[in-house]
Structure 1
């Protein structure tokens, strides 16, 4: 069954381009919205599998719409399109409940795969290019980590950035799931973060990965 998508962007030409691209890849567009307000109104009557939304829109932007969506109990996965030109963008979107981020200049295959993975329940950070993040994004605490990271810990961080679960990481690295859980706990402690997403963002910023 085709993934059903709601497409939100204030630019009609962008929406038309995305619709044509996604439909060529077998992804159905249930409706389009030109603002966060319009997106919320249509989602109330037209459920979808994934929301693909630009972050920057006049009036209610993508993150504000996401916040309102979660506040009313709607857990529809949201994939945000971004150019990473806002210093607090990633943390704001993560805190609001976004399942993924995608650069606007991503390849068509990356967009298709990102939508499929988010629809399947994954959290996706893999399409994030590290260089734009490092150049334009600054974590609230820019201090270097007090401890170094082993090669295995860096490998696990990279898999975390791809949205892999502990079980998937264990299978990929031929480790016990409990061992991976211990590694993740150590990584969070070293980075001084409380969750996996923030750990990945800080590791990217500090050039650990």
Structure 2
């Protein structure tokens, strides 16, 4: 019996690509394709599903990692592969904690998605060791420290220097230092430009 796959992705291009890959495979059958993570649990209640390909960030504000946690609580036998084009390293850790079975970067995944699906259904858990290298301004994302990414993420969320410091348990002056370093690395002229482009180029996801 073919493995039934649900695609959860609000990007039409990648959703259509996953649908095509599944339909052309002899081992898998498309259970359905939806564009909001908030609809996942309701969908699988009514439609038998063995595997979910789950994006993280949806335009309606729903979150694939939170949806994964809900799926695993109610349907622990359903496999979930997180698929994303966002390079925020925090997501790998969060996906593991939510109970995801594997993690795959769209377009830059080194392993073909069908192979990843096969291995995941066989019981393997496959997570990348590193995030893909993207370019933010003049700087490759691999040049940022973990703390710089943390500051950038909070900056993108609209927090002030004081609020960032309180959330990360560092001083306001230290936050200013990190932002100056980020501006120097990227070549952006101000914090607003940095924050907008960090989200636009999917280096971080604003929380």
- Give the TM-score of the pair, scaled to structure 2: 0.58
Tell me the SS of whatever aligns to 1:105: coil
Aligned to 1:21: 21
Indicate conservation of the 8 Å contact 2:88/2:131, yes or no. Answer: no
2:7 corresponds to 1:7: yes
5+ residue gaps, structure 2, are: 134-140, 148-207
Aligned to 2:96: 94
Specify the structure having the higher radius of gyration (Cα): 2
**Superposed counterparts of 1:10-159, under 5 Å:** 10-26=10-26, 27-57=28-58, 58-106=60-108, 110-125=112-127, 128=128, 130=130, 132=132, 135=142
Indicate conservation of the 8 Å contact 2:8/2:55, yes or no. Answer: yes
- Give the TM-score of the pair, scaled to structure 1: 0.58
Moved more, 42-51 or 19-28: 19-28
Indicate conservation of the 8 Å contact 2:4/2:49, yes or no. Answer: yes
| Aligned length, in residue pairs | 138
Displacement after TM superposition at 1:106 (Å) = 4.5
Indicate conservation of the 8 Å contact 1:5/1:28, yes or no. Answer: yes
Displacement after TM superposition at 1:97 (Å) = 0.3
Indicate conservation of the 8 Å contact 1:85/1:137, yes or no. Answer: no
Displacement after TM superposition at 1:74 (Å) = 3.5
Displacement after TM superposition at 1:75 (Å) = 3.3
What is the CA RMSD across the aligned residues, in angstroms? 2.6
Displacement after TM superposition at 1:136 (Å) = 7.8
Displacement after TM superposition at 1:90 (Å) = 0.9
Displacement after TM superposition at 1:12 (Å) = 2.7
